[in-house]
Amino acid sequence: MSKRVLPVILVIVSSLLLLGLAYSFFWPTAVRPTPLSAFTAPFVYGHFQIPADNPLTKEGVALGRLLFYDKRLSADNTVSCATCHLQRLAFTDGKARSVGVSGKELAFNSMSLANTLWGPQHFFWDGRAQSLEEQALIPIQHPDEMAQDLDQLIDELTADEHYLKLFRQAYGEINAKNIAFAIASFERTLVSANSKYDQFLRGELKLSADEELGRKLFMAHPDVKASLRGGNCIDCHSQFLTSGFNAKFDGFANNGLDSDSNLKPGLEKITKMKADRGKFKVPTLRNIALTAPYMHDGRFATLRQVLDHYDQGIKVSATLSPLIMEATNQPSDSEQLQISLNLSEDEKLAIIAFLHTLTDYTFIDNENFSNPFPIKRVPHE
Amino acid sequence: MNKIWIPLFSVFVLLAFSWLYLVNHKQAGTVTLQFQARVGDKPLEFNQTRYANPGGEGKFQIRHLQLYLSNIQLQGKEQRFQVADSYHLARFDNAAKSYLLELHDVPYDKYSKVNISIGVDESANASIMARGDLDPNNRMAWNWQVGYKFILFEGTLAHAQKIQPLVYHVGFSENLKALQFHLPEPITPGSAPVNFDVDILAMFSSSVNINMAALPTVKFDRNDARLIAENYASMITLSADDSAYSALEKSEP
Query: Tens digits of per-residue pLDDT, B214-241?
Result: 999 999 999 999 999 999 999 999 998 6
Residues from chain A that touch B145, judged by Cβ atoms under 8 A, are 219
Does B8 touch chain A if contact means CB atoms closer than 8 Å?
Answer: no
Residues from chain A that touch B164, judged by Cβ atoms under 8 A, are 337
Kindly compute the dihedral angle of the four CA atoms of residues A298, A303, A308, A309, in this order, to the nearest 10 degrees: 30
pLDDT band at A29 (very low <50, low <70, confident <90, very high): low
* Residue B201: predicted pLDDT: 98
Q: How far is B225 from chain A (nearest CA, A)?
A: 11
Least CA distance to A240: which residue of chain B? B137
Contact A282, A244 (CB under 8 A): yes
pLDDT over 50 at B190, yes or no: yes
Q: Chain A: which residues have CB within 8 Å of chain B? A: 44-47, 118, 219-221, 223, 225-226, 228, 234, 238-241, 243, 245-248, 250, 273-275, 322-323, 325-326, 335, 337
Q: Report the residue from B128, B163, B164 with minimal CB separation from A44.
A: B128
Q: Report the residue from B130, B154, B155 with minimal CB separation from A47.
A: B130
Residues from chain B that touch A118, judged by Cβ atoms under 8 A, are 137
Position with higher pLDDT, B18 vs A24:
B18
Q: What's the topology of domain A45-191?
A: Cytochrome Bc1 Complex; Chain D, domain 2 (1.10.760)
A45-191 and A196-363 share one fold: yes
Instruction: Select from B134, B137, B138 the residue whose CB has the most chain A CBs within 10 Å, as the one to mutate to test that interface.
Output: B137
| Range 28-67 of B in CB contact (< 8 A) with A | 46-47, 63
List, as own/partner pairs, every contact residues B142-147 make where C-beta atoms lie below 8 angstroms and the sequence separation is at least 24, other chains included: B142/A219, B142/A221, B142/A234, B142/B169, B142/B171, B143/A219, B143/A220, B143/A234, B143/A239, B144/A239, B145/A219, B146/B171, B146/B220, B147/B120, B147/B171, B147/B172, B147/B173
Does B121 touch chain A if contact means CB atoms closer than 8 Å?
Answer: no
Residues from chain B that touch A47, judged by Cβ atoms under 8 A, are 130, 135
Contact A274 B47 (CB under 8 A): yes
Contact A118 B163 (CB under 8 A): no
Question: Which of these, A73, A81, A68, lies nearest to A149 by C-alpha position?
Answer: A73
pLDDT band at A82 (very low <50, low <70, confident <90, very high): very high
- Interface confidence, given as ipTM, is 0.87
Q: A-B interface: how many C-beta pairs under 8 angstroms?
A: 86
Least CA distance to B164: which residue of chain A? A337
Q: Taking the domains of chain A in order of start, what are their residue ranges?
A: 45-191, 196-363
Q: Report the residue from A220, A247, A275 with minimal CB separation from B47.
A: A275
Residue B85 neighbours by CB under 8 Å, 6+ apart: B131, B132
Segment B47-104, tens digit of pLDDT: 999 999 999 999 999 999 999 999 999 999 999 999 999 999 999 999 999 999 999 9
Cα–Cα distance for residue pair A132/A64, rounded to 1 Å:
12
The 3 state secondary structure assigned to chain A is CHHHHHHHHHHHHHHHHHHHHHHHHHCCCCCCCCECCCCCCCHHHCCCCCCCCCCCEHHHHHHHHHHHCCHHHCCCCCCCHHHHCEHHHCCECCCCCCECCCCCECCCCCCCCCCCCCCCCCECCCCCECCHHHHHHHHHHCCCCCCCCHHHHHHHHHCCHHHHHHHHHHCCCCCHHHHHHHHHHHHHCCCCCCCHHHHHHCCCCCCCHHHHHHHHHHCCCCECCCCECCCCHHHCCCCCCCCCCCCCCCCEECCCCCCHHHCCCECHHHHCCHHHCCEEECCCCCCHHHCCCECCCCCECCHHHHHHHHHHCCCCCCCCCHHHHHCCCCCCCCCCCCCCCCCCHHHHHHHHHHHHCCCCHHHHHCHHHCCCCCCCCCCCC
Question: Which of these, A110, A113, A142, A67, lies nearest to A363 by C-alpha position?
Answer: A113
pLDDT over 80 at A7, yes or no: no
Question: Which of these, A199, A184, A117, A187, lies nearest to B137 by C-alpha position?
Answer: A117
Contact B47 A245 (CB under 8 A): no
pLDDT over 80 at B23, yes or no: no
pLDDT over 60 at B14, yes or no: yes
Q: How far is A321 from chain B (nearest CA, A)?
A: 9
Q: Report the residue from B139, B216, B221 with minimal CB separation from A250.
A: B139
Cα–Cα distance for residue pair B173/B157, rounded to 1 Å:
28
Q: Report the residue from B137, B155, B156 with minimal CB separation from A118.
A: B137
Q: How far is B159 from chain A (nearest CA, A)?
A: 12
Contact A225 B221 (CB under 8 A): yes
Residue B56 neighbours by CB under 8 Å, 6+ apart: B159, B211, B212, B213, B214
Cα–Cα distance for residue pair A120/A243, rounded to 1 Å:
8
Cα–Cα distance for residue pair A307/A300, rounded to 1 Å:
10
Average model confidence (pLDDT) for chain B? 91
* Residue B252: predicted pLDDT: 38
- For the entire predicted model, the pTM comes to 0.88
Contact A51, A133 (CB under 8 A): yes
Q: How far is A364 from chain B (nearest CA, A)?
A: 24
Find the DSSP H helices in chain B. 5-24, 122-125, 202-205, 222-232, 242-250
Question: Which of these, A167, A146, A154, lies nearest to A63 by C-alpha position?
Answer: A167
* Residue B249: predicted pLDDT: 41
Query: For the residues A21-38, what does the mean pLDDT come to?
Result: 71
Q: What's the topology of domain A196-363?
A: Cytochrome Bc1 Complex; Chain D, domain 2 (1.10.760)
Q: How far is B245 from chain A (nearest CA, A)?
A: 27
Instruction: Select from A233, A250, A329, A340 the residue whose CB has the most chain B CBs within 10 Å, as the one to mutate to test that interface.
Output: A250
pLDDT over 90 at B176, yes or no: yes
Q: Within 13 Å, how many C-alpha atoms sit on residue B84's CB side?
A: 3
Contact A275 B141 (CB under 8 A): no
